[in-house]
Structure 1
Amino acid sequence: MYKPVSRMRRLIPVLKQDGVDTDLIMLVRTILAASKEIAFRVSQGELAGILGSTLNENIQGEVQKKLDVLANQLIKEMLLDDESVRAIASEEEEHVVAGHSTGRYIVAFDPLDGSSNIDVNGQIGTIFTVYPAREDVAYDSCQQFHQPGINQLCAGYILYGPSSLLVLSTGGPTRCYTLDLTHGGYLLTKAQMNVPRDSCEFAINMANYRHWSRVTQAYFDQVLYASERFRHSSVRWNAAMVGDVHRVLSRGGIFLYPEDARLGNETGKLRLLYEANPLSLLIEKAGGKATSSGRRTLEIMPKDLHQRVPVVLGSVGPVDDFNSAVFSA
């Protein structure tokens, strides 16, 4: 049972009050130590020499930004120094990276979501999730991560912007913390985030309309042009899932990234392990709903480290409307 907590408290006392295991608290601290360094580099921008692209592509076939590489290396090195970490998985790493064979936890992360926004000073963030390590497979096996999202012990993201925000759930409420630069710690600024049940605001890349299925196109034709209910609809799109989902958590709405006809996107674009699952947990713990092809995202059993899925999450009403329209057609 999670007790109400007052605002403006430091992170560690809140986690202790929530009954979080000490080792997990220390692991969260490790991740956040890396996030503070990333936040500083982001605030420096061109002054830190982290803008622009490298000459390399990651395992996803995406050109890596300099800050992508830096963020991945910072988080990776700090996690591997933590003896509670058995293995890690990252968007920027093709394979599982082995940690400590006796570690209690495995960690997956997207070191820098929204990389296309880096050079235009737009929204970017770090997404992370923690699972219990499996005893039935090798400590460095990719099967360590073959667990459904409901097994997550902790999920969160850091949104870098005018202020750096941590949104976190350890199985209880989705809470929001703000990085206080005066003492270098995260302070609780919203003890419980709640997603309103209905909203006419949605986040989707409408440029992909021509690639969607007929029924998905028909749904958006209804939303944008035909339905009286949605005549006040507003499209919001940051090109960073972490930013769009934060807006949904803050004021409601729906985030969508459906599958489409482009090569590689037939089963979705977003990664189940370190994008869809952690953000789905945060949405659910805030009273929202998260689905993939009409089913609960957190119940999907991963088959691959970088498995992609379609994502629809946010306010319960719009999510149900979309699934009813598209999957009942």
Structure 2
Amino acid sequence: MPDGLTTLTRYTIEQEHRHPGSSGEFSALLNVIATATKIIANQVTRGAIAPGSGDGVPLHRRMDAHAHDAMLAQALWTGHLSALLSEQNREIEPVPVTQRRGKYLLAFDPLDGSSNIDVNLPVGTIFSVLRCPDTDRAPVAADFLQPGVEQVCAGFTLYGAATLLVITTGDGVDGFTLDREIGAFVLTHPRMRIPQESTGFAINAANERFWEPPVRRYVHECLDGAAGPRKRDFNMRWVASLVADAFHILTRGGVYLYPYDTRYPQGRVSLLYGANPIAFIVEQAGGAASTGHERVLDVRPAELHQRVPMIFGSRNEVQRIQHYHTESEDGPRFDASLFGQRSLFRRARG
């Protein structure tokens, strides 16, 4: 490793030194999570030759299970956690009574975008760390029902051409790349910032007919480009991987929309281990994250696997979209019929 590079271990120790009286538990927990994601990265890169390839189970389901098991195997025994919540399990996973229980809760999606595995597109692990409200009793599901503003830490690991770990503890966002030669995450993207302005957006255009009018208005204004009200051209992309789109926005700017639609009134992004950690990261990088109607981090969870609409990225673009929602509900209404004569794939008649 070249001199001067900072490993995740060194980074967490230096952060700890900035907080006199720190017990070291949190730093140790971050390194445990990082170890789990290294194991997951190794499984992901093996693809179809990973263990169990002959059992008839689809690849993405096997990888989901491997990732879930890797996180549990690394995190349950450490003594830093009281309980875990995984996208793979309906109920929480309390730390066994035979192990020491810590003061933190971990919510995670072990392999976001796992359906992309079959076609070798990026996938990732998303995680959120909360404080356990009461460590004098056994943890319960309600302990996880905290709004996103209560998060102690959030992060995601992106498994792509390189394995990248992005984290925030509420003091900016830092990105690390896995150096496979030394087996350590190395700081490569310090103090990540999202530009306030953007000329890119990510949305699944196939769902246009199910969108609310404010979202259709925003997308069509972007598609009108320099000839439309925005007076500039936009690019559209959609990876169908939350972590891949989030990292793209962190490095190049843009806005991601997985909005409310008429088929899924509750939304599609998991709040506790998807929307909240991504929103925390995005806000700490200078961006914004909204459901279209309210700040994501202010949403009060009602159930473990609750889902919400999510729009995040460059602050000015997110605020514009939220304003369109407010205008549609409370102010002068724009004419939604303007969008009835064209779609994303047909030229407007004129």
Between structure 1 and structure 2, the one with the greater Rg is 2
Mapping 1:78-157, distance limit 5 Å:
78-99=74-95, 102-135=101-134, 138-157=137-156
1:3 alignment partner in structure 2 = none
* Structure-2 separation of matches of 1:100 and 1:319: 42
Give the number of equivalent residue pairs: 316
2:37 alignment partner in structure 1 = 35
Per-residue deviation, residues 174-227 of structure 1 (Å, max 9, x unmatched): 000000001100000111100001001011111111111233223322221262
Change (3 A) 1:176 1:42: same
**Cα shift at 1:112:** 0.2
For residue 228 of structure 2, what is the amino acid of its counterpart?
S
* Structure-2 separation of matches of 1:323 and 1:169: 25
Gapped regions of structure 1 (runs ≥ 5): 1-5, 57-62
Mapping 1:278-289, distance limit 5 Å:
278-289=277-288
2:228 alignment partner in structure 1 = 227
* Structure-1 separation of matches of 2:54 and 2:325: 39
Contact 1:157 1:166 in 2 (8 A): yes
Aligned-residue identity in percent: 36
Contact 1:86 1:98 in 2 (8 A): yes
**Cα shift at 1:139:** 2.9
Change (3 A) 1:252 1:183: same
Per-residue deviation, residues 212-253 of structure 1 (Å, max 9, x unmatched): 123322332222126242641111111100000100000111
Secondary structure at the aligned position of 2:207 is classed as: helix
Contact 2:43 2:50 in 1 (8 A): yes
Change (3 A) 1:285 1:215: closer
Secondary structure at the aligned position of 2:111 is classed as: strand
TM-score (norm 2): 0.85
For residue 77 of structure 1, what is the amino acid of its counterpart?
A
Per-residue deviation, residues 42-94 of structure 1 (Å, max 9, x unmatched): 122222256799769xxxxxx96110011011111221112111010011000
Contact 1:84 1:105 in 2 (8 A): yes
Per-residue deviation, residues 90-136 of structure 1 (Å, max 9, x unmatched): 11000111115642100000000111110111010000111111118
Secondary structure at the aligned position of 1:295 is classed as: coil
* Structure-1 separation of matches of 2:229 and 2:267: 30
Secondary structure at the aligned position of 1:183 is classed as: coil
Secondary structure at the aligned position of 2:88 is classed as: coil
Per-residue deviation, residues 287-321 of structure 1 (Å, max 9, x unmatched): 11111233111111111100111111110111011
* Structure-2 separation of matches of 1:7 and 1:93: 42
2:336 alignment partner in structure 1 = none
Change (3 A) 1:161 1:191: same
Secondary structure at the aligned position of 2:303 is classed as: coil
**Cα shift at 1:18:** 2.3
* Structure-2 separation of matches of 1:116 and 1:133: 32
For residue 13 of structure 2, what is the amino acid of its counterpart?
K
Per-residue deviation, residues 262-289 of structure 1 (Å, max 9, x unmatched): 1xx2121101100000011111111111
**Cα shift at 1:12:** 1.9
Change (3 A) 1:8 1:233: same
Contact 2:8 2:185 in 1 (8 A): yes
Matched, 1:9 2:11: no
* Structure-2 separation of matches of 1:118 and 1:188: 27
For residue 278 of structure 2, what is the amino acid of its counterpart?
L
TM-score (norm 1): 0.90
**Runs of 4+ in structure 1 over 4 Å off:** 49-56
Change (3 A) 1:259 1:55: farther
Gapped regions of structure 2 (runs ≥ 5): 329-350
The CA RMSD over aligned residues, in Å, is 2.2
2:335 alignment partner in structure 1 = none
Secondary structure at the aligned position of 1:18 is classed as: helix
1:72 alignment partner in structure 2 = 68
* Structure-1 separation of matches of 2:56 and 2:136: 36
For residue 256 of structure 1, what is the amino acid of its counterpart?
L
Secondary structure at the aligned position of 1:328 is classed as: helix
Contact 1:179 1:185 in 2 (8 A): yes
